[in-house]
């Protein structure tokens, strides 16, 4: 399985969902799940067009976001999700890499210079 990336996290999530059964993941019939098409990506990299290309991790992040929205019920609930230790998708729940989220958050909340003469 690939390192600790988003695609590997999808695989871990699917394994947990299927009771740690690789066979259960392979035979999963829940095609309505946003992660269904990605469930085998880490186990069989490069075997399907969906998983290839430089934008594959970005597409995987979008599907993780969809899964988190469906699980939590909304954007506010995704932000407040307390499943930090329990869910393999938790760190990807915003649909971006954790580093990107931290950088955007720092810029958003950074002190701005005070301008008295606008």
Q: What is the pTM of this model?
A: 0.75
The answer, yes or no, to whether residue 88 has pLDDT greater than 80, is yes
Encoded tokens for 108: 């958003």
Encoded tokens for 14: 């699917």
Encoded tokens for 13: 């999530």
Percent above pLDDT 90 for the chain: 49
40/1: higher pLDDT: 40
Domain ranges in the chain?
6-95
Express each pLDDT in 5-23 by its tens digit. Answer: 888 899 999 999 999 999 9
Per-residue pLDDT, 49: 64
Between helix 6-17 and helix 56-72 the angle, nearest 10°, is: 40
| Helix (H), strand (E) at residue 76 | helix 75-79
The DSSP annotation for 1-66 comes to --SSSHHHHHHHHHHHHTTS-HHHHHT---TTSTTGGGTTTTTSTTSSGGG-STTHHHHHHHHHHH
Per-residue pLDDT, 2: 40
């Amino acid at each position: 399985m690939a390192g600790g990336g988003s695609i590997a996290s999808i695989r871990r999530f699917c394994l947990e969902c299927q009771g740690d059964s690789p066979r259960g993941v392979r035979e999963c019939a829940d095609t309505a799940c946003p992660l269904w098409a990605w469930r085998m990506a880490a186990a069989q990299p490069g075997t399907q067009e969906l998983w290839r290309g430089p934008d594959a991790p970005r597409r995987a992040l979008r599907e993780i976001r969809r899964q988190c929205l469906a699980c939590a019920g909304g954007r506010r609930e995704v932000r407040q999700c307390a499943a930090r230790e329990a869910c393999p998708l938790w760190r990807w729940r915003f649909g971006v890499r954790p580093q990107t989220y931290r950088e955007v958050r720092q810029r958003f909340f950074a002190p701005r210079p005070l301008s008295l003469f606008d």
